[in-house]
């Protein structure tokens, strides 16, 4: 965009919000023009059925986590020994394990622990990472340099190994796994938030707000943060998928909740002893993990495209 197409500088201090709105309107108009191309008038869910499916998968597992008893009447902990190691059937859609427990019930109830850990991990990364990125990108100077060097160092250690080091120090359990995975994602959030803040911070409306004497904290919270949030939220969806993978991998390795509490990762590792005879014990819980991660990635790509448009 050439500088001539920019709106004129604010004439009065009251113009600040007005200019910001004009920017937003204009961005909206651009998006609308793109959307009005012929052949694109179908509703979004017809045009992109895979996106609809992805949203449905994530909504379903979230519902599993919130109200598991709606989806299964069977106990995830108590089994019927006579029914042990049965394949998938109408009574047991995912089959039963070596203690006769219904695997579907264990996956549904397991989504609570696994998704709790995932959401907590993403929240930790989102809040801490965004705060670091916001301050670093806005204050610049030494603060920025130090924060970004720390981010570089965190990125130089593979996320899984960083989480494992944190678990060594914190101990085992679902919440500790969540904290360990969350700290591993801080660096990514900080980096994306910083680059967005640098972009937004150069906008005329931020300059105008500053020049008209708005307090720094108000500039940050009312002007910079809302306009920088889009890509960061798209990243949250992406990190949700990565966190599901990391949480279930760490649970698979045995660092999550102790048995008999079900977690997606520990369910898969629990089926390892029956690989030759009971394929469903590892295959079906793993399939659920894969479906959720794939869906989260699909949603993240849609969000990314929207914020990029």
CB of 282 to another protein, least distance (A): 5
| Buried b or exposed e, range 218-229, using 16+ CB within 10 angstroms | ebbebbbbebbb
Binding site for another protein (CB under 8 A): 149-150, 152-154, 156-162, 164-173, 176, 188, 191, 238, 241-242, 245-246, 248-250, 252-255, 258, 265, 268-269, 271-272, 275-276, 279, 282-283, 286-287, 289-290, 293-294, 297-298, 301
Closest to another protein by CB, 208 or 249 = 249
Place of tokens 């992805």: 54
Measured CA to CA, the distance from residue 113 to residue 269 in angstroms comes to: 16
Closest to another protein by CB, 139 or 170 = 170
CB of 166 to another protein, least distance (A): 6
Closest to another protein by CB, 80 or 128 = 128
Closest to another protein by CB, 173 or 230 = 173
Closest to another protein by CB, 109 or 176 = 176
Closest to another protein by CB, 170 or 214 = 170
Please say whether the beta carbons of 40 and 47 come within 8 A. Answer: yes
Closest to another protein by CB, 205 or 252 = 252
Dihedral of the alpha carbons of 226, 229, 233, 236, in degrees to the nearest 10: -120
Query: Is the bond leading into 260 cis (omega within 30 degrees of zero)?
Result: yes
Which of left, alpha, beta for 171 (phi over 0: left; psi -120 to 50: alpha)?
A: left
Element (H, E) at 244: helix 225-252
List the structure tokens of 59. Answer: 């909504």
Measured CA to CA, the distance from residue 80 to residue 73 in angstroms comes to: 14
CB of 274 to another protein, least distance (A): 10
Measured CA to CA, the distance from residue 296 to residue 294 in angstroms comes to: 6
List the structure tokens of 301. Answer: 């790509």
CB of 121 to another protein, least distance (A): 12
Dihedral of the alpha carbons of 273, 278, 282, 283, in degrees to the nearest 10: 150
CB of 243 to another protein, least distance (A): 9
CB of 191 to another protein, least distance (A): 8
CB of 117 to another protein, least distance (A): 13
């Amino acid at each position: 965009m050439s500088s001539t197409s920019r709106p004129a500088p604010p004439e009065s201090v009251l113009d600040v919000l007005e200019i910001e709105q004009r920017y937003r309107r204009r961005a909206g108009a651009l998006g609308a023009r793109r959307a009005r191309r012929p052949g694109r008038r179908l509703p979004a869910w017809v045009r992109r059925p895979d996106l609809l499916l992805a949203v449905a998968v994530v909504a379903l597992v979230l519902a599993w986590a919130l109200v598991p008893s709606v989806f299964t009447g069977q106990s995830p902990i108590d089994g019927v020994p006579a029914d042990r190691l049965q394949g998938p059937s109408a009574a047991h859609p995912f089959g039963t394990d070596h203690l006769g427990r219904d695997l579907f019930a264990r996956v549904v109830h397991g989504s609570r622990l696994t998704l709790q850990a995932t959401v907590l991990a993403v929240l930790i990364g989102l809040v801490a990472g965004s705060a670091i990125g916001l301050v670093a990108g806005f204050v610049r100077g030494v603060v920025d340099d130090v924060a970004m060097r720390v981010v570089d160092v965190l990125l130089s250690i593979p996320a899984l190994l960083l989480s494992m080091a944190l678990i060594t120090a914190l101990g085992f359990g679902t919440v500790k796994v969540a904290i360990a995975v969350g700290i591993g994602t801080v660096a990514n959030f900080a980096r994306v938030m910083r680059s967005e803040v640098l972009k937004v911070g150069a906008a005329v409306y931020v300059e105008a707000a500053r020049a008209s004497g708005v307090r720094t904290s108000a500039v940050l919270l009312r002007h910079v943060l809302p306009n920088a949030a889009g890509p960061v939220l798209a990243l949250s969806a992406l990190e949700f998928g990565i966190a599901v993978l990391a949480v279930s991998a760490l649970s698979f390795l045995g660092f999550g909740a102790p048995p008999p509490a079900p977690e997606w990762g520990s369910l898969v590792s629990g089926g390892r002893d029956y690989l030759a005879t009971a394929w469903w014990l590892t295959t079906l819980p793993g399939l659920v993990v894969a479906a959720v991660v794939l869906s989260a990635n699909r949603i993240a790509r849609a969000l990314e495209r929207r914020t990029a448009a």
